[in-house]
Amino acid sequence: MTIIENKALPESFIKTLPGSAYSDPEMFAREQELIFEKMWFCAARSADVGKPGAFKTVQVGRESILITRSRSGEARAFFNICRHRGAQLCTEESGEVKRSFQCPYHAWTYDLDGKLVAAPNLTKMPDVDRVEYGLRKVHVREWLGYVWVCLAEEAPTFEDSVMGDVRTRLGDIESIDHYGVENLELGRRITYDVKANWKLIIENFMECYHCATIHPELTEVLPEFADGFAAQYFVGHGAEFGEDIKGFTVDGSEGFDRIPGVTEDQDRRYFAVTIRPQVFLNLVPDHVILHRMYPLAPDHTIVECDWLYLPDVVASGKDVSHSVELFHRVNQQDFDACERCQLATDSRVYADGGVLVPSEHHIGAFHEWVLNSLQGTD
């Protein structure tokens, strides 16, 4: 009886990553260092730090990052650590300060640009530079109504990396501009606690071979998904709504008015985009769904999912539950599957990984990108 076989793969298959890639703490630490703390990370909604002094604290990789807005209206991000003895400046998830952050331990005080502006006896320490001993800064960029941060010393070009992923998927960057995502407002947020590696969640989002099995509601709305080919398989392709489907809702009932900029070509279609390493973008005519992942451990990822609508939909208190319910079910179905896969990653019969069928082969490019990123050669 042979338990581990090493035969050549049939041509229909290519390999996944080995099991340990999904469970090894050292692999995960390298991913934190070389992926999540090196790339642009979608950290907060711009509206959450809407005015000067409003702040949010966010876990980015292994670091606590303090996001706020300066008096001049620009988003700012800092390591959430006092330069004196290292106390965490803000322990609350969000809040608002007037004009400065004061460390609650020894009262070192920083303005909204991070400069050290006061401390007990500071005047007796004239050799201390107020900027050099200001808060450690992090790169910031706002796009699509979100604050993106990058913890690398030198950030990759936002245009090449974040926008590049959108361009590669949709064919051009104008396609997303039509949705005016930065003008939409939050209709609903649901947070999922997933006991699975972040890469399993990405792999799942990238393929639709599972759609017929686990997503009855979604394949009802997007009949072509039943064939197993994901929207992400073809550049620029959006999956078309079924004939009797009126809107992207759990029961196919009518949605809301089309977002003004959305074109005829984009109408009645669903586009999905993966922005590496932690964002999924889902575009339909009347709303946008944006997922953000926060990887906490090899087998533990928090996923925050935002449903975004036109301002008047949110302001008028219209019932968004039919559209929310559709992707909320899809999320639950997907994350259950990912958790089920996580269980095998330590098995000796999965040491060499599993296989990808033809309609999943494009996931191999994601695996290569991960491995390259960890070698710092991407």
> Nearest distance from residue 10's CB to a copy of itself, in Å?
4
Alpha carbon distance 106, 91 (integer Å)? 16
> Residue 216 or 260: which CB sits closer to a copy of itself?
216
- Of 13-21, 215-223, 282-290, 295-303, the window that binds a copy of itself (rule: CB under 8 A) is 13-21
Residue of 30, 136, 141, 322 interacting with a copy of itself (CB under 8 A): 136
Options 244, 319, 348, 377; binder of a copy of itself; rule CB under 8 A: 348
Phi and psi (nearest 5°) for 168? -60, -40
- H helices of 246-378, in order, are 311-315, 321-342, 363-375
Residue 210 near a copy of itself by CB under 8 A: yes
Query: For residues 155 and 250, which CB has a smaller minimum distance to a copy of itself in the complex?
Result: 155
Min separation Cβ 39 and a copy of itself, Å: 15
The answer to whether residue 15 forms part of the interface with a copy of itself (CB under 8 A) is no
Q: Is 190 exposed, middle or buried (0-12, 13-18, 19+ CB in 10 A)?
A: middle
Site for a copy of itself in 358-377 (CB under 8 A): 358-359
* Per-residue contact string for residues 233-272; x = within reach of a copy of itself by CB under 8 A: ----------------------------------------
Residue for token pair 């069928």: 357
Per-residue binding letters, 177-206, with a copy of itself (x by CB under 8 A) = --------------------------x---
Residue among 154, 243, 244, 264 that touches a copy of itself (CB under 8 A): 154
Distance CA 278, CA 43 (A): 10
Task: Give me the least distance between CB of 154 and a copy of itself, in Å please.
Answer: 7
- Give bridge partners of residue 139 from the DSSP assignment: 150
Segment contacting a copy of itself by CB under 8 A, of 41-49, 163-171, 184-192, 347-355: 347-355
Residue 256: exposed, middle, or buried by beta-carbon count in 10 A (0-12, 13-18, 19+)?
A: buried
Number of residues that bind a copy of itself (CB under 8 A): 72
Work out the angle at residue 70's Cα, subtended by the Cα atoms of residues 64 and 75, and round it to the nearest 5 degrees.
Answer: 55
In the complex with a copy of itself, the residue whose CB is nearer, 13 or 143, is 13
Residues 22-81 that bind a copy of itself (CB under 8 A): 37, 62-64, 79, 81
Residue 213 found at the interface with a copy of itself (CB under 8 A): yes
340 near a copy of itself, rule: CB under 8 A: yes
Q: What is the dihedral of CA 359, 360, 366, 371, to 10 degrees?
A: -130
d(CA 147, CA 96): 17
DSSP string, 222-284: SGGGGGT--GGGSTT--EEPPTT--SSSTTS----PPPTT--TTTTTEEEEEEETTTEEEEEE
142 makes contact with a copy of itself (CB under 8 A): no
Q: State how far the Cα of 225 lies from the Cα of 237, in Å rounded to an integer.
A: 12
Among 29, 47, 128, 235, binds a copy of itself (CB under 8 A): 128
